[in-house]
Structure 1
Amino acid sequence: MTTPDTVTRPAAGDRPGPAPAARPVRYGYLDVLRGVALCGILFVNLRDLLYRWTEAVGPHHPVFRFYDVAVQGRFVPVFAFLFGVSAWLLYSSSQSRMPVRSARWLMARRFATLLPVGLVNLALLYSGDVLTMYSVIALVLIMPAMFLPRGPVLALGVVGTLVAYWMWGNSPLIAATLIVAGFGAAQFGLPQWLESRRRRDVVVAAVVFVVSAGAGVVLSLMQNAILDTDALSDPDVLDRVDGFAGLCTAVALTTGLSLLYRARGGQGDHGGQGGRGTVLSAPFSLLGRTALTNYLAASAVAQVLLHLFPDTQLTTPWWLPAATVAILVVQVVASAVWLRFFRYGPVEWVWRCATRWQRVPLRNVPQRSRSPRA
C-alpha cells in the first residue's frame, strides 16, 4: 500500500532488473493517487461497517444510489493496481542494493508479513478486508512474475483484467489481475509517465482521460437506468456494466489527476522526500504516505462507534458522507503531525521492519544528513 522512499528507474530491457539511474527518485504522484483512492474506499467501507445505523433506511435512497453508481468499485481498482506498481518499485530498488535472490526473498517477506495484518483486520475490525487477499495474491502471482519478462506480465494483467470484468463484473477476484497489471506496467515506466510533462505524454494522458471519462459516465448512466428496472432479462448485464463503469472511471481518475498534478508543477523528488506539494495534492499525499495506517484506523473508529452507540437507528443516511469526511479530515491532520516528526506511518514502519528483519530508522533527520539509500 505504500511506495518505497527511494526507487531506481525501471530497466529498459525486456527482463526485470535494476535500472542504471544516476540517483534515486520518489514518485510523489503515486502518494497523491493512493490518498485519493483511500478516500473513496473509506466511503464504501464505512457504509458497510455502519450499516446497522441505517437499517431503517430503504436501499433506494439517493445517497445509497450515489454510492452504488459513483463510488462503489471506482476506487478499489486504483488501490489494487497501485499495490502492484509499488511491489515492482520496491523490487527494482532492492536489486540496486542486494543480489537478485536476496531481493526476491525480501519481497516474499514483505507479502508474507502483510498477511497477519490482514487477518487481524479481518477478524477484529472489518469483514471486507482486502489486505489478506492482496497478500495471498502477491505470494501466488507476483513472486512468479519476478522470473518473467515484463511484456508477458503486463499482457497477462491487462487481458486478465478485461476478461475478469466481463465474466464477474465488480468481483474482488479482479484485484488479482489488476495487481499483476500494475506490476507489469511499472516495468514499462508508468510511474515516470504519470509525472512526465513532455507535450506528447500530456496529450496522450489527456486523450486517455477524455475517452475513459466519457465511457465511465455513459456506463454509469446505464447502470443507474438498469437499477431502476424491476426485472432484467440477463442478470449478468448489471454486473458487467457496473464493472466496466468502475474500470473506466478508475482510468479516468488516474489520468485526470495526473494532468492536474503535472499542471500544478508536481514532480518526483530526487532524494526521497516526495514531489512538491500543492494546496490540492498535499492532503492526499499525506493520506497516501500513511495509507495502511489510515485504512486500519478508519475501521477501528467505526468499531468504537458501534460499541459506544449499539442501538443507534438513523432515519437518514446523509450523515454518512459527512461522518466519512470528518474522519478523513482528522486523518489528514494526524498524518501531517506524525510525518513532521517521523518518516513512515506507524503501521508502515512495523511492516517495513518486519520485511527487512531489522529496526528501520523512524524519526526524521535533516535532509543533508540523510543517506541516499535510507
Structure 2
Amino acid sequence: MKQSDTDPAARAARADAPPGPPEGGRVEALDLLRGIAIIGTLGTNIWLFTHPLGPASAFLDIPEADSAAGAVEVALRALTNGKFLALLTILFGVGLGLQYNSALRRGRTWPGRYPWRATLLLLEGLLHFVLVFEFDVLMGYALVSMIVVYLMVRGDGWARVWLWGAATLHLVLVAAVTTALVLTNDGSAGATSGKTAGEPEWVEVYATGSWVDQLGARLDNALLFRLEMVLILPMGVALFLVGTWLLRAGAFERGARGDRLRRRLAVWGLGAGVPLNTVTAFAGPDWFLVDRYVAPPLVALGLLGLITGWALRARGGAGPLRCGVSAVGRTALSCYVFQNLAASALCYGWGLGLAASWDGARPWWPPAAWAGIVAVFMVGATLWLRRFDRGPLETVLHAAYTAPRRAPARRGR
C-alpha cells in the first residue's frame, strides 16, 4: 500500500485492491467474531468484578491451583484469559483495513478524518475508565490506531518491519518482567503478601464503598490501572497489523485461498497456543504475563480461523443464538460498556454488593453472573437492532464524528 493509492489515477490502476463488503453491507462473520470477543472479555473481567477486592485483585490475589476450588477457578479463567482481548484487538485491525478499502473505493484520502474518530474513541475510553472500569481497552485501541493508520499508506515493507519490531518488543518486555518475578520469588506467593498489605483498603472501596469512593480510587491509582494499557501497546500494534494483513490475504473470503489460510490459522494457532496456555495457566502467578499476553494471541488466531470457516460454511438461516451473538457484534461498543456497568451494579457495594456477600460461592457464582449478564445484553442488542441501525453509543459517536463535516453545509444555507 503506497501513499500514491490516495491519488485517483493510482486507485483506478490498483487491480489487486482487496474487495470490501457491499456498499452499506456488512461482513457477517466479523459481526459474529466481534460478538464472541465481547462476550469473552466479560468472561475474563467477571472474575475481577465478583472479587471483594474488585479490579485490584488482578494485582493482589492472583488465583493458584493449591486447592480444589483454586484449581477450578484457574481452569475456568484459562478458558477466556487474554484470548478474547487478543481476538478483539485483531478484529479492530481488520476494521481499519475495511475503512481503508472503503476510502479507496470512494475516492477519499487516507487517513483523512480518521484522527478525529480516534480522538472520540480516546475520549470515550477515558470516560469509561474514570466512571466505570479500571481496565478499559478503548484508550489503548485509540492510541494504537493512530500509529497503524499511517503505516497503512507507507507500504507493506514498512508494515512488516513495524509488525515484527512491535512483536519482538512485546516479547522482550514480557520476558524481562517474567524473569524478574521468577528470580525475586522468595518462596511465598507474591499475590498473598500484596493482599495482606492492601486488602482492607480495597475491600472497603469495592465491597462496601460508594461509587464516589471508587472514582477517587481510580484517579488516585491511575498509573497502576493504566499500566496494562502501556504494556500492551506493542502487542496492539502487532495485532492491528496482523488484522489488516488477514483481510488482504483473504481470511474472510469464500474460496480456496481463504479456506487454506483459515485451516492454517486453526491448526497452528490452536495447536501451538492451547498447550502453551494450559501450561502457563497452572504455572503460578509469576507466569501471569505469559499466560495473558503471549499464548492467548496464538489461540485467538486459531479461533478466528476456526469460527470464520464455520460461519462461511454454515447452511440455512441463523438460529437465535447466532443472531444474538451477531447482534452483540454489531453493537460491540455499547455492549462492552453495558456489561461493565451491569457487573458493577451487581457486584459492588453501591449496587447489590454480591461480590462480598457471595464470596464463599466462588468459583461457581462468577460464571452464573457472566451468563446472566450475557443473556441480558444479547436480548437487548437483538431488540435494539430491530428499530435502529447502530447501538446507542455507536449512534452518539457517529453523530459526533459526522457533525464537523455537516456544519459547513448548514452555515452555507
In the other structure, the counterpart of 1:137 is 144
Distance 1:84 1:113 in 2: 17
Distance 2:241 2:53 in 1: 42
The correspondence of residues 34-53 of structure 1 with structure 2, limited to 5 A, is 34-52=34-52
Q: Greater helix percent: which structure? A: 2
In the other structure, the counterpart of 2:206 is none
In the other structure, the counterpart of 2:393 is 347
The correspondence of residues 196-235 of structure 1 with structure 2, limited to 5 A, is 196-227=253-284
User: Deviations 1:82-108 (Å, cap 9, x if unpaired)?
Assistant: 1122123223313433531xx534201
In the TM superposition, residue 282 of structure 1 has moved relative to its aligned partner by: 2.2
Larger Rg: 2
The correspondence of residues 280-319 of structure 1 with structure 2, limited to 5 A, is 281-305=322-346, 306=348, 307-310=350-353, 312-317=357-362, 318-319=364-365
Distance 1:45 1:165 in 2: 24
2:94 to 68, 85, 90: 85
For the residue of structure 1 that corresponds to 2:344, the secondary structure is: helix
Distance 2:157 2:5 in 1: 10
2:156 to 150, 154, 161: 150
1:59 to 60, 63, 66: 63
Measured at CA, do residues 309 and 259 of structure 1 come closer, stay the same or move farther in structure 2, by a change above 3 Å? same
Task: Report if aligned partners of 2:170, 2:235 keep a CA contact under 8 Å in 1.
Answer: no
The correspondence of residues 233-272 of structure 1 with structure 2, limited to 5 A, is 239-240=289-290, 242-265=292-315
In the other structure, the counterpart of 1:119 is 126
Measured at CA, do residues 293 and 192 of structure 1 come closer, stay the same or move farther in structure 2, by a change above 3 Å? farther
In the other structure, the counterpart of 2:184 is none
User: Deviations 1:40-71 (Å, cap 9, x if unpaired)?
Assistant: 1011222212321898x993323430244332
Task: Report if aligned partners of 2:94, 2:243 keep a CA contact under 8 Å in 1.
Answer: yes
Distance 2:129 2:247 in 1: 32
Measured at CA, do residues 166 and 260 of structure 1 come closer, stay the same or move farther in structure 2, by a change above 3 Å? farther
In the other structure, the counterpart of 2:188 is none
Residue type of the partner of 1:309?
Answer: L
* Aligned length in residues: 329
Task: Report if aligned partners of 2:324, 2:378 keep a CA contact under 8 Å in 1.
Answer: yes
Unaligned runs of 5+ in 1: 1-10, 229-234, 267-275, 361-374
In the TM superposition, residue 155 of structure 1 has moved relative to its aligned partner by: 4.1
Measured at CA, do residues 84 and 188 of structure 1 come closer, stay the same or move farther in structure 2, by a change above 3 Å? closer
For the residue of structure 2 that corresponds to 1:341, the secondary structure is: coil
Task: Report if aligned partners of 2:31, 2:329 keep a CA contact under 8 Å in 1.
Answer: yes
For the residue of structure 2 that corresponds to 1:122, the secondary structure is: helix
Deviates most, 64-73 or 17-26: 17-26
Distance 1:163 1:146 in 2: 20
In the TM superposition, residue 29 of structure 1 has moved relative to its aligned partner by: 1.1
Task: Report if aligned partners of 2:116, 2:401 keep a CA contact under 8 Å in 1.
Answer: yes
In the other structure, the counterpart of 1:273 is none
Q: Percent identity of the aligned residues? A: 24
User: Deviations 1:173-226 (Å, cap 9, x if unpaired)?
Assistant: 464345434554455462772333323431332233122212122112321442
Distance 1:51 1:16 in 2: 51
Task: Report if aligned partners of 2:281, 2:291 keep a CA contact under 8 Å in 1.
Answer: no
In the other structure, the counterpart of 1:4 is none
User: Deviations 1:3-43 (Å, cap 9, x if unpaired)?
Assistant: xxxxxxxx7x7965565969535211111111111111011
Distance 1:44 1:20 in 2: 34
For the residue of structure 2 that corresponds to 1:344, the secondary structure is: coil
